């Protein structure tokens, strides 16, 4: 896909090396934890002065087409790995969604997301998965507001059973990136995200970098402030426990200078069962 995209724009005479990073470079950047945006932008927010490159229609189209191609490349890798486990977990999530899972004192009409997560974890454990309900927490700083976020983690094993890895489940994945007043190109990009994320933390980390960079660009085009909760490093803290463990478990972890590892965040997990780890095939 990347080679086709580059070939099309070379035929148009677009000097890619002068306009932006090549898609290959950007793909490497997002997987190795490097920022793909302009590091000269303000930390807390970004505000367009109307005189930037976003006023150039050709450059704008090139940026959004490249981001879409980059996201598609990552999603293709994501969908091609551990597909059997993902399909089984997705089926269990769909079953859990049809059950009366909400146990709150004030249940809503369609149940709350917290009870939904607990229901999914319970059902996963019943089906033999080693499932965990995790909560990432981070303290308030000058750069970010404090907060917490719940997600699900399943421990899976490689076919040789020599290595175990976290498999992250986010039941509100697409919703995490929705921005009401974003530009049309950003809305289109977010619509391509899966409703549920079910997979390795490194693919989620890569997707977060691409979409957050697109959010930054959208805010610039709309001449709006970008809140710190939209930034890549803040979004990563929502799944900090799984992402950090994934980085430390990888043989290339010493090459990934993750911003996450420098954040004062912590993750706690409530273990529902001690089932054996599922084997990834």
Contact 279, 158 (CB under 8 A): yes
Mean pLDDT of 134-144: 88
Q: Mind listing the pLDDT tens digit for each residue in 72-96?
A: 999 999 998 888 889 999 999 999 9
What percentage of residues in the chain have a pLDDT greater than 90?
A: 41
CA dihedral angle for residue 189, residue 190, residue 196, residue 199, rounded to 10 degrees: 50
Q: For residue 156, name the pLDDT band (cuts at 50, 70, 90).
A: confident
Q: Is pLDDT above 80 for 270?
A: no
Q: For residue 7, name the pLDDT band (cuts at 50, 70, 90).
A: low
Residue ranges covered by each domain of the chain: 2-279
Q: Is pLDDT above 70 for 267?
A: no
Task: Pick from 7-11, 49-53, 166-170, 259-263 the range whose average pLDDT is largest.
Answer: 166-170
- Taking Cα atoms as reference points, which of 137, 191, 146, 194 lies closest to residue 169? 194
Q: Is pLDDT above 60 for 213?
A: yes
Q: Three-state SS for 164? A: strand
Q: What is the pLDDT of residue 258?
A: 37
Phi-psi region of 144 (alpha: psi -120 to 50; beta: other; left: phi over 0): beta
Bridge partner list, 167:
154
What percentage of residues in the chain have a pLDDT greater than 70?
A: 61
CB burial readout 241-266, b (16+ within 10 A) else e: bbbbbbbeeeeeeeebebebbebebe
Mean pLDDT of 112-132: 91
Mean pLDDT of 265-277: 45
> Phi/psi at 57 (nearest 5 deg)?
-60, -40
Q: Mind listing the pLDDT tens digit for each residue in 227-243?
A: 888 999 899 889 976 65
d(CA 76, CA 236): 21
Q: What is the pLDDT of residue 73?
A: 96
Q: Is pLDDT above 90 for 268?
A: no
d(CA 21, CA 132): 39
Q: What is the pLDDT of residue 61?
A: 93
Residue 58: Cβ within 10 Å count: 11
The strand pair at 164-170 and 265-271 is best described as: unpaired
Q: What is the pLDDT of residue 106?
A: 61
């Amino acid at each position: 896909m990347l080679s086709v995209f580059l070939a099309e724009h070379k035929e148009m005479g677009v000097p890619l090396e002068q306009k932006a990073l090549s898609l290959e470079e950007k793909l490497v950047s997002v997987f190795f934890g490097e920022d793909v945006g302009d590091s000269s932008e303000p930390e807390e927010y970004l505000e367009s002065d109307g005189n930037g490159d976003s006023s150039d229609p050709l450059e704008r189209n090139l940026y959004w087409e490249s981001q879409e191609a980059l996201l598609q490349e990552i999603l293709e890798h994501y969908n091609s790995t551990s597909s059997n486990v993902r399909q089984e977990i997705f089926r269990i999530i769909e079953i859990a969604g049809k059950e009366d899972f909400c146990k709150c004192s004030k249940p809503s009409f369609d149940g709350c997301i917290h009870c939904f997560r607990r229901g999914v974890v319970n059902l996963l454990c019943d089906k033999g998965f080693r499932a965990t309900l995790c909560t990432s927490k981070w303290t308030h700083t000058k750069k970010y507001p404090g907060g917490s976020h719940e997600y699900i983690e399943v421990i899976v094993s490689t076919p040789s059973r020599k290595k175990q890895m976290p498999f992250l489940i986010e039941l509100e994945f697409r919703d995490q990136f929705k921005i009401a007043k974003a530009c049309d190109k950003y809305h289109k990009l977010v619509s391509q995200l899966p409703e549920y994320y079910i997979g390795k933390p490194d693919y989620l980390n890569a997707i977060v970098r691409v979409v957050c960079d697109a959010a930054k660009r959208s805010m610039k085009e709309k001449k709006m402030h970008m809140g710190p909760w939209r930034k890549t490093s803040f979004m990563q803290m929502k799944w900090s426990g799984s992402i950090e463990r994934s980085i430390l478990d990888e043989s290339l972890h010493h090459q990934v200078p993750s911003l996450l590892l420098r954040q004062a965040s912590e993750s706690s997990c409530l273990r529902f069962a001690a089932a054996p780890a599922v084997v990834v095939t």
